[in-house]
A and B are shown apart, each in its own frame.
Chain A
Amino acid sequence: MLLPEPEQNILDRRDEIVGALKSLLPKGCVIDDRTTMKAFDSDGLSAYRNLPLVVVLPETTQQVSDVMKWCRDNGVKIVPRGAGTSLSGGALPLSDGVLLGLGKFNQITEIDYENRTVTAQPGVTNLAITTAVQDNGFYYAPDPSSQIACSIGGNIAENSGGVHCLKYGLTTNNVLGIEMVTMDGEVVRIGGKHLDAPGFDILGVMTGSEGLLGVVTEVTVRILRKPATQRAMLVGFDNVQEAGQAVSTVIAAGIIPAGMEMMDNPAINAAEDFVNAGYPREAAALLIVELDGPEVEVDYLLDRVATLMKGAGASSIRISQSEEERNQFWAGRKSAFPAVGRISPDYLCMDGTIPRKALPEMLTRMSAMSQKYGLRVANVFHAGDGNLHPLILFDANAEGELERAEEFGAEILRNCVALGGVLTGEHGVGVEKRDLMGEMFTEDDLKQQQRLKCAFDPDHLLNPGKVFPVLHRCAELGRLHVHHGQLPHPDIPRF
């Protein structure tokens, strides 16, 4: 995986750039010593590390604007960073780029229960939003596993999901407005407490744009009333294919649970060793199904789901009898990644999505690939929406294992696309899946996406080297190819 070649003239100007940034920002907002910068050299994709040119931690929107404008005027690249929990390397620094951290934007600015919104600065953590409103019975629905640490601004950049997005949607379905700064340093506000902002849906394309279009400086999200009852069900299966089929059966019956997760035997046992969640160790696969709503509804649907599961071949069913037990059921799932971290020196977490009905086929292919590459795999799925998180276990100190694990991961994602799915369901492309974009998109598809980038950042200064495998110059992308490359009537003025 290669980042764009650093520009030598920028590296040579480092002292001047650091000096200029220090003049724009208050004391303590510019970090330029290599030891302290070390803390920013990677994100959640820690296999890749790189020191930035300099780190800036502005405190106000005006300062973000000043920094971006200066960088634009001086041709200096910027990599935005929230909490640095990205699993795809979206915040991986560039040697010739300024790392712009939003960590000091850590205030919730308004809670509005009447309109059911929270407005927060981008560095506020996802969980802090729920924490701020839970005493009044509200919560913020998207709940990525990293919610204790990940920032709401980063959630916008990555369009983060979580176990409950099956029913409540991803970040994009829960954000109402943003303030953002463009690479020109212009401050733009889109949306707010009203719905469907006028004009082209810039809020929609900003969400999930991985820090390539602008820097978010304020976020307004909708909050929801906590359901009256939440209960979870653990369903064991003797083979993974049956479990995969059961997921489709529930959805086909017209039931959309709040969450429907799946773990295979290696993941079950790793989680069980770690937190004693009470999972059936002998099961080949485990489904965790959560239902929420009024108590009568939850009871009724639990009953229906249990019947469907038995019909689908379930070998064991347990329903949470208390809030404590429900949390225990989830504890295993939510700690699945660190749990796997204990049984293997290293792991790679993949993130493809496939049509639900392809789950059984994918699981069969997965075990074949595991044998082919000689690497163990533990599977944790957001099964309800077909989002896979295979964890490939390897040892980075063993000669060639990282490369083998990466090849294994790439083959999984190619299979996802071949089965009608996509490369990433919620972790983003970043640098990790950048070079696989061609598996899913044609050159023309990617060029049209990059033309959108040009509308925001024509000089490719904002987070270049992420998402797109090839950077085309905007002038080249803008050319119209009609009449064999010649514009019609080139002498007349354009509109």
Chain B
Amino acid sequence: MARYTPENCTDIEDIVRDALQNETPLHITGYGTKTSLGGRVCARDELSLSAHSGITDYQPEELVLVARSGTPLLEIEETLDKNGQMLAFEPLHLNRFYDQPHPGSLGGIIACNLSGSRRISAGAARDYLLGFDAISGRAGYFRSGSKVMKNVTGYDLSKLMCGSFGMLAVMSEITLKVLPRPEFMTSLSVTCARLTDAQSALSAGFGSATEPSGGAIIKSGGGFKAVLRLEGVKISVKDRIASLSALLEKTGTLAVMSAEESLDFWQMMRDISCLQKGAEQVWKLSVTPSYAPQIIAELEAGHEVDYALDWAGGLIWLGGRGAELGEAVRNALARHDGGHATLMRAPEAIHASQPVFQPLDAALGGLQSRIKTAFDPMYILNPQKIELAGAADANAL
């Protein structure tokens, strides 16, 4: 049991090379805030990037920020905020959800591709990763991408790194596209008796020219509250709130939220505090938005569940209990246009009894395993964090 905390890229390379030579896999972490997310890593030694920290280049006028992978997310967000900018993908803050002191590192957010409410309008973490350098599981240093906005030179390996859960390479430096923070934000809530009506309100809002930057639904009283967020220059937001209110006046009871209310609401979504406390299990379902009410109705019929929706209905946070809930979730998705489900949090016995991520079909699973092998043939990096189909053979590639 060793714990390494390298402070620079060369040290990362040395640690990975040693691990490769000794065939001792590494658990790649930042601050360990998301250790509970994904499969249980099959490694005794830990490589923590927490000491590999700091913003190395920030050019607000170029909309570019470069930071070491262990830089705390909060440090990045504060620095951007001081300059009137932001991470447009609105990273999730999972510290409350996983009972951790802070939301972890930039590297962790990128590796897990954790995007918040603005995912639906502005894109995911993966859409803002312009470039990186890293040490592969072959102990080889490589770079991909750049510091410019538009780049199609070579394969877009940034996309692959985002959401790879540290299984392909250990990122050293991360280059992000950042955006100006909107000068004004407010939200319109629409309270409806039925979930389908709340979902229709979101669909109508996102299908209008009012450019919502977030669309969520929570249970409220005996009904449902759909909340649509509008951001931008003040004069524009005021105008769009009026248009949106006119559009949705027949779908439910409307209320324009105050700035504070609005801020609190979207922070609640960012922190996944939208579910009742103490749910035994929490699932993240990515679905075709219009099917969300049917999927929920089907699950409610057989299970006691709690839920909130984000991404205009395309994301369902689902709380529930019981060993058979997972299968019910995956079956419900299969009957409603596909999508995928991730077990975000559960007691160990339930966690161990089923796949955390959506199982893939043989063709796709095979490709995934071959991609893993292309970067990490000996399965040195975060083995089992994502369950991969089939066995890999270092000599096959």
Contacts and interface: CB of A to CB of B under 8 A. Distances in A.
B207 A452 contact: no
A187 B143 CA distance: 31
A4 interface: no
Contact of A158 (B127, B152, B314, B397): B152
A411 interface: no
Given A199-B357, A442-B143, A449-B154, A294 B394 contact: no
A426 B152 contact: yes
Interface string A191-214: 011111111111111011100010
A200 B152 CA distance: 19
A55 B123 CA distance: 38
Interface in A171-206: 172-173, 182, 186-190, 192-205
Interface in B234-248: 235-236, 239-240, 243
B297 interface: no
A424 B232 contact: no
A297 B235 contact: yes
B119 A195 contact: yes
Interface string B255-267: 0000000000000
Interface stretch (A76-84, A247-255, A278-286): A247-255
Given A200-B168, A422-B148, A480-B20, A194 B340 contact: yes
B139 interface: yes
Contacts of B144: 445, 448-449
Interface stretch (A21-29, A99-107, A350-358, A362-370): A350-358
A451 B374 contact: yes
A421 B146 contact: yes
A201 B150 contact: no
Contact of A195 (B148, B179, B315): B315
Contacts of B21: 482-483, 488
Contact of A227 (B209, B338, B373, B379): B209
Contacts of A256: 179-180
A114 B312 CA distance: 11
A483 B139 CA distance: 12
A159 interface: yes
Given A115-B290, A353-B151, A205 B157 contact: yes
B100 interface: no
Interface in B332-346: 337-340, 342
Contact of B159 (A172, A188, A192, A387): A172
A170 interface: yes
A291 to B, nearest CB: 11
B46 to A, nearest CB: 20
Interface string B273-297: 0000000000000111110000000
Contacts of A295: 239
A254 B314 CA distance: 30
A326 interface: no
Q: Which of A198, A475, A488 has the most CB of B within 10 A?
A: A198
B160 to A, nearest CB: 5
A85 B309 CA distance: 42
Nearest to A355: B62
A192 B397 CA distance: 30
B133 to A, nearest CB: 9
A385 interface: yes
A200 B368 contact: yes
Interface string A455-486: 11010000000010000001101101111000
B58 interface: no
Contacts of B370: 454-456
Contact of A293 (B113, B136, B232, B337): B232
A296 B235 contact: yes
B386 A458 contact: no
B211 A293 contact: yes
Interface of A: 112-116, 137-138, 158-159, 161, 165-166, 169-170, 172-173, 182, 186-190, 192-205, 207-209, 213, 225-228, 248, 251-252, 254-256, 293-297, 300-301, 353-357, 382, 385-387, 420-429, 433, 437, 440-442, 444-449, 451-456, 458, 467, 474-475, 477-478, 480-483, 487-489, 494-495
Given A449-B155, A455-B370, 6 more contacts: A194-B337, A199-B360, A202-B371, A251-B63, A451-B374, A487-B394
28 contacts: A115-B203, A115-B289, A116-B206, A138-B207, A170-B152, A172-B127, A172-B156, A186-B363, A194-B287, A195-B315, A201-B113, A201-B164, A204-B159, A254-B84, A255-B180, A353-B149, A355-B62, A387-B149, A422-B151, A425-B150, A441-B154, A445-B143, A448-B157, A448-B374, A448-B375, A455-B374, A458-B397, A477-B397
